[in-house]
Amino acid sequence: TMLPLLLLLLPAAQGIVQLGYRPALTKEPPLEGLTTASTFVVDQPRCVFQDYRNAVIWLVVALEQAVSSFNNTAGPGTPETAFQGFPYPVRAYMTLNTTLDSYPCPKPDGDITVLRVGSETSCAEDERRPTCNGPLPGPGPYQVKFLALEGSVPVAETAWSLPITLRTAKPPSSISTAGSGHSADMIAITTILSILFAILLAALVAMLFFWGSDSCGSSSTFSKPESVTVRRYNTHHVYDQPAARL
């Protein structure tokens, strides 16, 4: 019964090697989305774990207030370090495990040397993937470190990163337009132009209506033709003369 306890105490007795490396947000240009609402990008630990070729290197992601209480002997993939329980009750989880072959030193030309934390969405709620690199649930702040395990024994670790805070979306009600003088001027100009256009359109409609009614009145009014008086003339020289005799 004492053997499991001795195995747990062995790393503490030997001590975990503290490496002189601190993870940080990458500075490699040009990189879009260094931090988003649910992810951030850190540099890979190249040329850091060269003395631990048989180790598996894990990334530990913790809430800032949980850094001091993280237990290095907590095994990856256990309920104590499962992503699906983060941030409560799990305060730190382990993810992105790989061997030293994935972090060659020196870096070959063209290699991608960054890690995007929080990029996997398909396993975020899959309890069969407790080491999922799932989206981070809030702005943080978070801190990360790399931990090397040989079997289940932690042998080396880096320092914790500085606190990393993610972006937060502003609610529409918090967006102020008081200082945007250019936008206010454009709104005023647009309003004036709209009013002038409405007046012009109304005048055009009234003019068309007036012309239409005038043309209809002209076509329905007929002038009465003047009566023509024809005088009748009697040919007195024909009727007053006696009839011609044969």
Who has greater pLDDT, 36 or 196? Answer: 36
In the block, residue with structure tokens 């008086």: 229
Indicate the helix (H) or strand (E) that contains 62: strand 56-63
- What is the model's pLDDT at position 239? 47
The beta strand positions in the chain, using DSSP E, are 17-18, 40-43, 56-63, 92-99, 114-117, 142-150, 153-157
CA distance 113 to 115: 7
Among 74-83, 96-105, 191-200, whose mean pLDDT is lowest? Answer: 191-200
Domains of the chain: 17-169 (2.60.40.10)
Which of 141-155, 159-173, 175-189 reaches the highest mean pLDDT?
141-155
- What is the model's pLDDT at position 184? 65
Who has greater pLDDT, 122 or 193? Answer: 122
Confidence band for 174, pLDDT divided at 50, 70 and 90:
low
For 180-230, the pLDDT digits (tens) are 455 667 777 888 888 888 888 888 888 887 776 666 555 555 455 555 555
Strand partners, 25: 42
For the residues 15-40, what does the mean pLDDT come to?
89
In contact, 94 and 59? CB cutoff 8 Å: yes
